[in-house]
Structure 1
């Protein structure tokens, strides 16, 4: 397995495994991407590319700063595109390969205050769906993992959001009705393993977690317009949460 991270010198756990090779990679730095991918492909055979870098931000739309928007776009969307571009010629030459990308529930349904993060994730899903068709003639699979709220150390930059207290409480309650509804990293890892090993080569989307699956399936069942009304009613409710 090949793992990449911005600061490999800080890693302590993965370095203990003999079959894990660690390389430096910041997906916001095109030159480093080219250098690292070139070095990796010279030394290793790669069957699966897993795009998992992410930057979170929650804010009122009008309060998003230029710096935060650029950071989010650079990491979540452009970073994924840059890395994927470097592997496509390699996979085409092999006539096989899997490109697996972590998206988000925020890329399947628009929620208030998700700001540029939602825009990034919707775009990532769109890019992956486009590549699903474009790369099929070359034997390359494209799949996405769609998690909701996961118990990890993922940090989300949060701005002040005056006037949204009740809506934010309702939205949080909808996504996390209780602590047991949070997805564990182990559960998500199982879905990632399933996506990688699944013999169904035509399946693209793997949704993780109970609440995320319920919302994803509800949208499919109700249709887009009815689902949007359902979500708005949930968020605008005056009930105590």
Structure 2
């Protein structure tokens, strides 16, 4: 039986992934900031819940060490996230620090703890949720865009750096998913039309947004397809269309297209 360690399992994509893998017979290490609040995942005998806040290095070390003493982990799935919408000039120091600390540094902290373990095993898969915003810059995504581009860059670097050790690195690239994920937003006067245009582009049909369960199916495919050369898995019809359009047009032409 294989084991997956999931960061950010309390809701949305993380919880849907934990359920799917548990139902497929995997051992699931489901981590979250407030495990005492979890009620659904506790019903699975092959799901083990641990506390993990990616902004707390000491807790990361303790939880990862405890888990690796008890379980042989095959897959690390980085899925913790913090979102925001803001004019660039309005971002506060607190918001920027929170975003970078969660989306980028949090992912790095957890991944660092697993690399020596996977190197010793000479195998392992590091999978990380990025975003369409990590593939193309869109207005008003603020420091979130920087976080996600950085995460994509780190993963591509690790794809090459860890390959000689038998370790795979992959990313999941969702667009707008129907989850409880909250984007903190500030007032943005003068951007009504721009926001409307971007919303229509990313969510032309708000009644049929991709569900966390659909993303979880793509995650399961990414983990189990044995394609060691593929790094990027884009999820959702609209996201795939935009991603492919950028590939087709090239960066400069795509920016004009947008």
Q: Distance in 1 between matches of 2:40 and 2:202?
A: 31
Q: Distance in 2 between matches of 1:225 and 1:198?
A: 33
Secondary structure of 1:100's match? strand
Q: Deviations over 1:203-236 (max 9, x none)?
A: 00000000000000000000000001111xxxxx
Unaligned runs of 5+ in 1: 232-241
Cα deviation for residue 199 of structure 1 reads 1.6
Cα deviation for residue 180 of structure 1 reads 4.2
Q: Distance in 2 between matches of 1:175 and 1:55?
A: 19
Q: Deviations over 1:152-207 (max 9, x none)?
A: 00011011001100000000000001124411111101100000001211100000
Q: Distance in 2 between matches of 1:177 and 1:86?
A: 40
2:171 to 144, 160, 165: 144
Q: Distance in 2 between matches of 1:178 and 1:195?
A: 26
Q: Distance in 2 between matches of 1:7 and 1:186?
A: 22
Q: Distance in 1 between matches of 2:59 and 2:123?
A: 25
Q: Distance in 1 between matches of 2:250 and 2:182?
A: 32
Q: Deviations over 1:123-171 (max 9, x none)?
A: 0000000000000000000000000000000011011001100000000
Name the count of aligned residue pairs.
231
Secondary structure of 1:172's match? helix
Q: Deviations over 1:47-76 (max 9, x none)?
A: 000000000000000000100100000000
Q: Which moved more, 1:176-185 or 1:124-133?
A: 176-185
- Provide the alpha-carbon RMSD of the alignment: 0.6
Q: Distance in 1 between matches of 2:63 and 2:193?
A: 46
Secondary structure of 1:28's match? coil
Q: Distance in 2 between matches of 1:14 and 1:200?
A: 30
Q: Is the 8 A contact 1:181 1:210 kept in 2?
A: no
Q: Distance in 2 between matches of 1:181 and 1:167?
A: 22
Q: Distance in 2 between matches of 1:200 and 1:79?
A: 27
Secondary structure of 1:129's match? helix
Q: State the TM-score, normalized to the length of structure 2.
A: 0.89
Cα deviation for residue 78 of structure 1 reads 0.1
Secondary structure of 1:141's match? strand
Q: Distance in 1 between matches of 2:133 and 2:114?
A: 26
Matched, 1:187 2:221: no
Secondary structure of 1:135's match? helix
Q: Which runs of 4+ in 1 moved over 2 A?
A: none
Matched, 1:157 2:188: no
Q: Deviations over 1:21-57 (max 9, x none)?
A: 0000000000100011000000111000000000000
Unaligned runs of 5+ in 2: 1-27
Q: Is the 8 A contact 1:101 1:145 kept in 2?
A: yes
Q: Is the 8 A contact 1:181 1:211 kept in 2?
A: no
Secondary structure of 2:241's match? helix
